[in-house]
Chains A and B, each alone.
Chain A
Amino acid sequence: GDSVTQMEGPVTLSEEAFLTINCTYTATGYPSLFWYVQYPGEGLQLLLKATKADDKGSNKGFEATYRKETTSFHLEKGSVQVSDSAVYFCALSDEAGTALIFGKGTTLSVSS
């Protein structure tokens, strides 16, 4: 079945460092891909998404490109801030748009 694999955390960075969180997927057909973020004490929030190959999703300085050839959707940010500290989940939904399938989540901790 469909699945999502993302890098193990925690990821610890200093403020203004470059961030990459790897995400790869296994799916039949052409899924949509998502990154969700969960700040401490809050629910999941959609960070960005891409619905077809080569699409780039972006929001709040974060970017991820839908790479079908490598079945990847890596999350990047050029300069992280302390406020970016959170848990990041990569997810996919199938073509029917049913419930999301999530990766295990990656905890990011940014220090000043």
Chain B
Amino acid sequence: GAVVSQHPSWVICKSGTSVKIECRSLDFQATTMFWYRQFPKQSLMLMATSNEGSKATYEQGVEKDKFLINHASLTLSTLTVTSAHPEDSSFYICSARAGGSGELFFGEGSRLTVL
């Protein structure tokens, strides 16, 4: 089946640094990609929706200058957490919508720990 790959799967960084997480659709073209954040024992919360070649649409309460999303191609979206702080520590999950079927596929997630 279709595969969505996230990298890195686990990252530890110092407070104040920036971290980039990649989300790739490996065998299909993704017209739309979504970024979610998941806290322990909590639901997945949608952060933003990105369409290839256009600016991402952020959910209410999500700082667009802190969570930079780029969807440069039909197979790659990136999430950059800028000037990360400990409260940004979380599990970030991307999903990609296949252009033909419209079905959603999820990456394995990336765990960010900010010290």
Chain A residues with a Cβ under 8 A of chain B: 4, 36, 41-46, 89, 97-105
Contact = CB atoms under 8 A, between A and B. Distances in A.
B43 A102 contact: yes
Contact of A105 (B6, B43, B103, B106): B43
Main SS class of interface, B: strand
Interface string B1-19: 0001010000000000000
B53 interface: no
Given A98-B49, A102-B43, A102-B44, A43 B109 contact: yes
Contacts of B52: none
A104 B42 contact: yes
A100 B41 contact: no
Nearest to B60: A1
A46 B49 contact: no
B93 A43 contact: yes
Contacts, number: 40
Contacts of A41: 108
Given A43-B6, A44-B93, A102-B36, 16 more contacts: A42-B108, A43-B4, A43-B107, A43-B108, A44-B95, A44-B106, A46-B103, A99-B34, A99-B46, A99-B95, A100-B44, A100-B46, A100-B104, A101-B46, A102-B43, A104-B42
A103 B6 CA distance: 22
B102 interface: yes
B30 to A, nearest CB: 13
